[in-house]
Amino acid sequence: MTRKLSRKPILGYTDRTTVKLDFDGELFRKVKYWADRAMKHFRLGGYVILKSSRDHYHVVFNKTESWERNTQIIAWVALLSRNAGLKKWVLMQCIKGASTLRVSSKREKASPRIVFSEGKQDQEIATFKRWRRLIKKVD
């Protein structure tokens, strides 16, 4: 059986004001624990957890923050959670100067889907969902 080659690039959502996290190789309950802890510690209002693939999760928080504050939050979570994938992701976002989360499918992985939400969803999460719909339409 031959695998169909998809010559498509990956589409993602990028901005500086949404606090996002990318947990690789982490259990759902731990992702939820860190999302809860970050939300309470930095008063981020609410969050959604998206399942990217098995044991890979994305977290998007509701409150609009500056890029300086954003990097402070994601670096805090990366350091305390000791997740190697998250640490690497944070460094890459700092180099770019904006954070990106994948929205489209990637090789055999489906596009990330929302599996859990908590708290307010009216600011950055609402915007994220709107852009996610647009990107999925393009994809």
Partner 1 sequence: MKSENWRNRGKVFVSRDEHGRFKTWRAVPAQSAFRSDYGAKSVAIYGYASIDWGRRSRRYEFHGNGRDIFRAVRLALRIVPKDENRYVTVSAREFLMHPYRYGKEGYWIDKEIES
Q: Which residues bind partner 1 (CB under 8 A)?
A: 5-17, 22, 64, 67, 88-89, 92, 96, 98, 100-102, 107, 127, 131, 134-135, 137-138
Alpha carbon separation from 110 to 26, 54, 103, 139 (Å, rounded): 18, 11, 9, 12
Please, which residues bridge with residue 123 across strands?
none
Question: Could you tell me if 35 and 86 are in contact, meaning their C-beta atoms sit under 8 angstroms apart?
Answer: no
Q: How far apart are CB 16 and partner 1 at their closest, in Å? A: 6
Query: 61: helix, coil or strand?
Result: strand
Cβ nearer to partner 1, comparing 17 with 117: 17
User: Least distance in Å: CB of 3 to partner 1?
Assistant: 9
Angle at the Cα of 119 (from 61 to 91), degrees rounded to 5? 15
> Toward partner 1, which CB reaches closer, 6 or 40?
6
Min. distance of Cβ 64 from partner 1 in angstroms? Answer: 8
